[in-house]
A and B are shown apart, each in its own frame.
Chain A
Amino acid sequence: MERVKRQKQRKVLLMGRSGAGKSSMRSIIFSNYVAKDVRRLGATVDVEHSNIKFMGNLMLNLWDCGGQDSFVESYLTNQRSHVFTSVAVLIFVFDISSKDGGSDMVSFASTIRALHEFSPQSKIFVLVHKMDLLPVDQKARIFQQRAIHVRATCEDEGFLGQQVDFWATSIWDQSLYRAWTQVIYFLVPNASAIESMLRKLAELLDARELILYERATCLVVTHITRGGEGQNPYTDRFERISSILKTHKHSMARHSGVMAAEVTFAEMQIKMGAFMFFITRLTENTNLAVVMPSDESSFNAARVNVQLARREFAQLDIVEKKGKDSQTT
């Protein structure tokens, strides 16, 4: 486990048949597209690579693999070891509205056979996508059905139950953020160290909730919830906040006439009678959202404490980097 933690580059395959929605989700999460923009995307030719820096020492190495049959054929044959070696996560996208469920499953089975051959320890996230196209009363049933079927296929190919996760998604709501947040959480190398530092900070601030999110994507890396906030009825609030902040970023970009990707950090503070919510930078790539009781003096103290915490979090990155260096030498 120690070794995995220190690994910096994590290879993530994004696969699924052509038109399933892979590039659409990638563009929304990582390239600041909004849902209606994705109609402009063309089919992906071969593999599109992107590197996304996360939390200082995590580098996502995302392979968006074009899903047309001829490309898939080549991933499974002449490019087989190149594609499937040292994979940390496979994200497989099913278009739930596809008329061709049978051959989608065949394609899936041959993909994970190759994955098991070269990266048997990898994790699989299955995204059952375009859920918005299903009638509301059938969503749960159709999703369950697909999950059972896919799980059986994975187990046939030698994966354990806990290596496979299922998420229902659509680009038209926050479900996409929920799924990707899980992927990121799985990949962040020092999640437990980060969490314990955040917990200390939360106690110091007497905060109700702390949410750590990545700045470019607004994906929630982790959160700390204390006391009564555990009863917050909005259990989907983390993905909602991702999507609120992402929208807000677009709005700021429009206002200042720059690209959304270039919108740098903005401080925000919302003060209500019952609570205070503020956002501030924590590390190079992350922001911290704080929810705490509302009063001016504790707010000022909180800002100072977050400032102090920044150093500690920055050190966390450095320590990890050193660890990696000493290992490679």
Chain B
Amino acid sequence: SSDRGHHVRRKGNPKILFMGLKKSGKSSVQKVVFQKLSPADTLFLEPTTKVEQTSLRTFTTIDTAEIPSHLTLDSSELDHQPLFSNAGAVIWVLDVQDEYLASIAALIETAVFLSEHYPRINFEIFIHKIDGLSEEYKYDTFREVRQRVQDELSDLGHGDRSVSYYQTSIFDHSIFEAMSKVVQKLLPQLPAMETLLNKLCSTCRIQKAYLFDVGSKIYVATDASPTFLRDYEVCSDYIDVIVDIKQIYGWHSREDNEEGGSVASGDSINESTVTLDPSGETYVYAREVDEHLTLLCVMGKGSTIRRRALIDYNVGILQDALLQVFKV
């Protein structure tokens, strides 16, 4: 029974562990993405002193745990099995504004530990607080960190360990983009969703489609076309507009449905468009799939409003299919 860790089963909810040196930004990342803390307010976060577990209600339940840096892997206080056995990903938060060599050493130790005991856990490195660096320096730092990690892992005989790297900051959209990618890898429904989105994009000449979790604003899936941060940003900001307007003028129906819990959004189609240029040729189209998920499409030239009937029809089909995907 020594090595049951090998049989990690990804059953149930995605579970993500946050690790990294103290003050690297572990709590900040979670609070900003999942609890909507404003980035400036992270300045006042208290240090985390024990393992802190949270269950987040998004489109699916996401479990997170933060392991404070003083609980090293060899510490007797750290009980590995309950933490790691059902984890899907470990995110290592590396503060680039700090002396990061110490962080790399600890990170290597963790990567090796995971390789040996829990090889199915994805290892994700957030090269974090990137907002403090100049454009050029950002890239150099990114390269240097990646190179060092790869070299050291190879030297230790773990060169084949797959590791992903992200540049992140809580002060812009980069942290949401990175979290999106981390979460996506843990979703068994991902391939099905991607297939559906690809099909929609080709039938309706959609430039880019994202399926958003409205609460956290991470995207759960996107089509196969190239991803540009600016498309993600404009969609993500537009969700804010929709959510705010819905709150301001939806008070009526909320009061009517007081005891019914969530409003039955199933029977009405909630959709929204905003034009991106004066000619109205490019626009963003949003459509609620369910209480948590909203589809956002960036429509390029050629997919004019006149094609809306076609789009509405196909999005309707997609919506039904998505609901099926999540039923199981």
Q: Are A244 and B245 in contact (CB under 8 A)?
A: yes
Q: Are A251 and B278 in contact (CB under 8 A)?
A: no
A248-B238, A251-B234 known, 6 other contacts, Cβ within 8 Å: A255-B233, A264-B278, A269-B272, A272-B246, A272-B249, A273-B253
Shortest CB distance B256–A (Å): 8
Shortest CB distance B170–A (Å): 14
Contacts of A232 on B, CB cut-off 8 Å? 248-249, 251
Q: Which segment of B134-142, B148-156, B215-223, B261-269 sits at the interface? A: B261-269
Q: Contacts A264-B278, A266-B276; is A274 near B252 (CB within 8 Å)?
A: yes
Counting chain B residues whose Cβ lies within 8 A of the other chain, the interface size class is: 20 to 34
Query: Using a CB-CB cutoff of 8 Å, which residues 233-250 of chain B contact chain A?
Result: 233-234, 237-238, 240-242, 244-250
A241 to B244, CA, bound (A): 9
Number of A interface residues at 8 Å Cβ cutoff, please give it: 32
Shortest CB distance B197–A (Å): 20
Q: Are A247 and B240 in contact (CB under 8 A)?
A: yes
Q: B271 an interface residue at 8 Å Cβ cutoff? A: yes
A interface SS class: mixed
Measuring CB to CB, which residues of chain B are less than 8 angstroms from any residue of chain A? 230-231, 233-234, 237-238, 240-242, 244-253, 263, 265, 267-278, 280
Q: Are B272 and A252 in contact (CB under 8 A)?
A: no
Q: Contacts A251-B237, A269-B273, A271-B272; is A228 near B249 (CB within 8 Å)?
A: no
Count A-B pairs with CB separation below 8 Å.
Answer: 93
A234 to B247, CA, bound (A): 9
Q: A297 an interface residue at 8 Å Cβ cutoff? A: no
A248 to B274, CA, bound (A): 10
Q: A106 an interface residue at 8 Å Cβ cutoff? A: no
Q: Are A268 and B233 in contact (CB under 8 A)?
A: no
A240 to B252, CA, bound (A): 18
Q: Are B234 and A255 in contact (CB under 8 A)?
A: yes
Q: Are B252 and A228 in contact (CB under 8 A)?
A: yes
Partner of B250, one of A240, A256, A272: A272
Q: In the complex, which residue of chain B has the Cβ closest to the Cβ of A269? A: B273
Interface pairs (30), CB distance under 8 Å: A209-B249, A232-B249, A232-B251, A244-B240, A251-B233, A252-B234, A252-B276, A254-B233, A254-B234, A255-B230, A255-B231, A256-B276, A256-B277, A265-B278, A266-B274, A266-B275, A268-B241, A268-B275, A269-B272, A270-B241, A270-B245, A270-B246, A271-B270, A271-B272, A272-B249, A272-B250, A274-B250, A274-B268, A277-B249, A294-B268
Q: Are A268 and B273 in contact (CB under 8 A)?
A: yes
Contacts of B277 on A, CB cut-off 8 Å? 256, 266
Contacts of A233 on B, CB cut-off 8 Å? 251
The listed residue with most B CB atoms (<10 A of its CB), out of A254, A265, A267, A272, is: A272
